[in-house]
Amino acid sequence: MAKPKPSFMDTIVSLCKRRGFVFQASEIYGGIGNTYDYGPLGVELLRHVKDAWWNRMVTAREDVVGLDSAIIQNPEVWRTSGHVDGFSDPLVDCRACKARFRADKLDEAVCPEKPSKRAGEFEKCDLTEPRSFNLMFKTNIGALEDSSSVAYLRPETAQGIFLNFLNVLNSSRMKPPFGIAQIGKSFRNEITPGNFVFRTREFEQAEMEYFVPPAESDEWYEHWKKVRFDWYVELGIDPAKLRMRDHDAGELAHYSTACVDIEYEYPFGWGELEGIACRSDFDLKRHSEASGTKLEYFDPQTKEHYTPYVIEPAGGINRMALTFLIDAYEEEVLEKDTRVVLRFHPEIAPITVAVFPLVKKDGMPEKAQELVQELRLARFSTFYDEKSAIGRRYRRQDEVGTPFCVTIDGDTLSDGIVTVRNRDSMEQDRIPMGEVVTYLHAAVREWQRPERASRTGEREPLPQ
């Protein structure tokens, strides 16, 4: 019998493992649920996503500064923020198989004993009444393991920003409207199956709290919705697969007065990529009341103290990386075969440029290494490869999304000319080796995503 064709998500998961993007965590011990490790190319992808976010949100702006706050804070923080009482999912147990599911995500649940049976198909009497389950991971601080030593791993980076509002205000001469940005790990004891790295227990968030005079909050909410949506499109994501979805009143988190999700159409359906929320003055006011320290701004013009409103764009770095990967994947049908290519934006690609000696002799490897050193000095993520036929080396780079390959051949040693091969068009330019850095800077700046090829198996359901 013919093997069933892998689904699109299967293809992505297997490419990630084969080429060293993502591995199952604790794999040799049988794994651990919803937890993954990132391999050599995966860390470069994450790093480039973080750099692109930081560049757009902090470096390119006058009005946003950075922060790196602690993961474990005083547990009072989480009581005040509402997470101890309110950060929970409603869970139900299946009486037949004893598995636990999220009551609000039953359409994603699968009975482990009867994988063909998806919840939604569960008989009502199979399930217990929903019970609330807090998502925060608990730990203990110090030598005692009693209730007085309980602490939490942060479930969002945002609170660390609110705690440092005054510190930043007093140390950096910022005044509203201004923002504080942070990238860092957050932890949630997620119960639902994660769809690979889409939903994991440990993940990196990129969040920015933008503090504004209350009267300006609507205007800034619109500003940040646009900036964040455009950021994905500028980095090559297909706008036809992106949409903005407003939360209705029942969906809003306890702290927000308005929220929109930027959603992407994943192979498993539309899903939240990033949220932009108006958190009003909820957090600063709550922390002011609970701590006794007034988290306010004194406006020297009006001589009044006020609590700023907050607009918060909050995304997950791992989810962004997965989205860039899925969106970049194409199988391009050529005359003789099909090539797999990840059409990453050059800023996002794990490797920006690969350097090859045409053959491993006659001084070509040495010349190629000279170029590698120059490219590394210019801070390009550079990969050197001298093994196997040149065509195969190109294809290996296509599959991991390297936008440029430079080949040193016999002539380079006499005339100094190298060949730059473009991943997307597969066209080749012959240019002097001394001009490669300038050429690449321009090519990265001017990159445009070519028309999209179809992707086989994209609409097939996820394996369970």
Surface-to-core class of residue 278, CB atoms within 10 Å of its CB (0-12 exposed, 13-18 middle, 19+ buried): buried
Token readout for 198 is 């889409």
Q: Are 69 and 60 in contact (CB under 8 A)?
A: no
**Rounded to the nearest 5°, which phi and psi values hold at 273?**
-100, -40
**Minimal distance in Å, beta carbon 83 to ligand GAP?**
10
Does residue 42 touch ligand GAP according to CB under 6 A? Answer: no
The single residue among 93, 272, 374, 385 that binds ligand GAP, judged by CB under 6 A, is 272
Does residue 283 touch ligand GAP according to CB under 6 A? Answer: no
Q: Which stretch binds ligand GAP (CB under 6 A): 220-228, 288-296, 307-315, 409-417?
A: 307-315
Could you tell me how many residues make up the chain?
464
Query: At how many degrees (to 10) do helices 436-446 and 364-377 cross?
Result: 50
The single residue among 81, 195, 318, 352 that binds ligand GAP, judged by CB under 6 A, is 318
Binding characters for ligand GAP, 413-442, by CB under 6 A (x = yes): ------------------------------
Nearest-CB residue for ligand GAP: 316
Q: Which residue's CB is nearer to ligand GAP, number 193 or number 357?
A: 193
**Minimal distance in Å, beta carbon 270 to ligand GAP?**
13
Q: Which residue's CB is nearer to ligand GAP, number 163 or number 364?
A: 163
Neighbours of 32 (CB within 10 A): 12
Q: Which residue's CB is nearer to ligand GAP, number 287 or number 393?
A: 287
Q: Which residue's CB is nearer to ligand GAP, number 254 or number 441?
A: 254
DSSP one-letter string for 162-204: HHTHHHHHHHH---SSEEEEEEEEEE----S--TGGGS-SEEE
Q: Are 160 and 153 in contact (CB under 8 A)?
A: no
**Minimal distance in Å, beta carbon 88 to ligand GAP?**
13
284 vs 297: CA distance, rounded Å: 11
Q: Across the strands, what pairs with 265? A: 270
The single residue among 315, 346, 350, 403 that binds ligand GAP, judged by CB under 6 A, is 315
Does residue 275 touch ligand GAP according to CB under 6 A? Answer: yes
Q: Which residue's CB is nearer to ligand GAP, number 80 or number 402?
A: 80
Among residues 154, 179, 235, which one has the least CA distance to residue 66? Answer: 179
151 vs 187: CA distance, rounded Å: 13
Does residue 156 touch ligand GAP according to CB under 6 A? Answer: yes
Q: Which residue's CB is nearer to ligand GAP, number 45 or number 418?
A: 45
The single residue among 64, 158, 235, 311 that binds ligand GAP, judged by CB under 6 A, is 158
Does residue 381 touch ligand GAP according to CB under 6 A? Answer: no
CA atoms within 13 A on the CB side of 458: 14
Q: List interacting residues with ligand GAP (CB under 6 A).
A: 156, 158, 188, 190, 199-200, 203, 205, 207, 272-275, 312, 314-316, 318-319
